[in-house]
Amino acid sequence: MKIILAEKAGFCFGVERAVDMAMKEAAAAPGKVWSWGPVIHNEEVVREFEEAGGTTLEEGDPVPACGTVVLRSHGVGPEVYQQLDAAGLRIVDATCPFVLRIHRIARETAEAGGFLLVAGDPSHAEVKGILGWAGEYCAAIGSPEDVESLVLPAERPVTLVAQTTFPVKKFQDIVEKLKHCGYSINVVNTICNATRERQEEAQRVAACVDAMVVIGGTRSSNSQKLFEICRSACPRTCFIQTYQDLTTDDIIGAHSIGITAGASTPKKIIQEVLHTCQSYRTSSTSF
């Protein structure tokens, strides 16, 4: 049995930076550091952050009276900065620089009297943050089909951006659908290079194996997108969080197995899954 581990699997630059910043703060002041939402969408990392002395603030939780709040890589809207400033809290901004670029585009679009259209999941933290910087005139769409029910203001110039982890092919399809509907739009492809490379590699690997394993957190949007991409190329694709979720049914009889992981998956978890697949290879005669 052949096992192919994607080179681009695991932490991207923005996620690694955010995790390092959050862990450093938690270790330096245990019990006095909060993250605005999960540090990243990976349950194992969140648990490590909390074991180090940090606390995760979920939506609706009261703002702490004092201490430090770490803004995760997904970014937030301006109202969160204002809320934390008003409470006198120290802010450690771990927003991914690529997300900050989109915030700038959103702010500039609003200041110019334009309309911002975001290709992304409207319920995702990153998209919510981007829309927060766009002011009143903005919207998010998750698929080319959403364009059909879209009504854009004729009197405002429209700028289209994308959630950094949005599928490249789907973004291209949205652009083509908008053109087909006669819209004149300023398109800014804000999908980060790491996402594009990860998705392209995952598709290549999935296309040449009998079974594909995608590792990621259940709340990880980019991991779910990888799963969709891989499943389209390899119907026998499974989605797991850790090696403990992998069963023999997922890979039994496969002569080749591909492994990839979302941007919020630690290297340790990837290696554990790899070793588990290797142990199946050496201990089972089915392969």
Q: Is 126 a catalytic residue?
A: yes
126, 176, 201, 228: the catalytic one is: 126
Closest listed residue to residue 46, CA positions, set 26, 69, 63, 32: 26
Q: Which residue has the tokens 């606390």?
A: 55
Separation between Cα atoms, residue 72 and residue 50, nearest integer Å: 14
**Contact in structure between 103 and 135 (CB atoms under 8 Å):** no
**Contact in structure between 94 and 18 (CB atoms under 8 Å):** yes
Q: Which residues pair with 56 in a beta bridge?
A: 35
Closest listed residue to residue 74, CA positions, set 48, 51, 97, 105: 97
Amino acid identity of 84? L
Q: Which residues pair with 139 in a beta bridge?
A: 117
**Contact in structure between 105 and 188 (CB atoms under 8 Å):** yes
* CB count in 10 Å sphere of residue 233: 17
What is the phi/psi pair of residue 150, to 5°? Answer: -85, 135
Could you give the 3-state DSSP secondary structure of residue 145? helix
**In sequence order, which residues have a C-beta less than 8 Å from that of residue 91 and are 6 or more positions away?**
68, 69, 71, 81, 84, 85
Closest listed residue to residue 214, CA positions, set 258, 254, 252: 258
**In sequence order, which residues have a C-beta less than 8 Å from that of residue 227 and are 6 or more positions away?**
214, 216, 237, 239
Question: Which residues are catalytic, by number?
Answer: 126
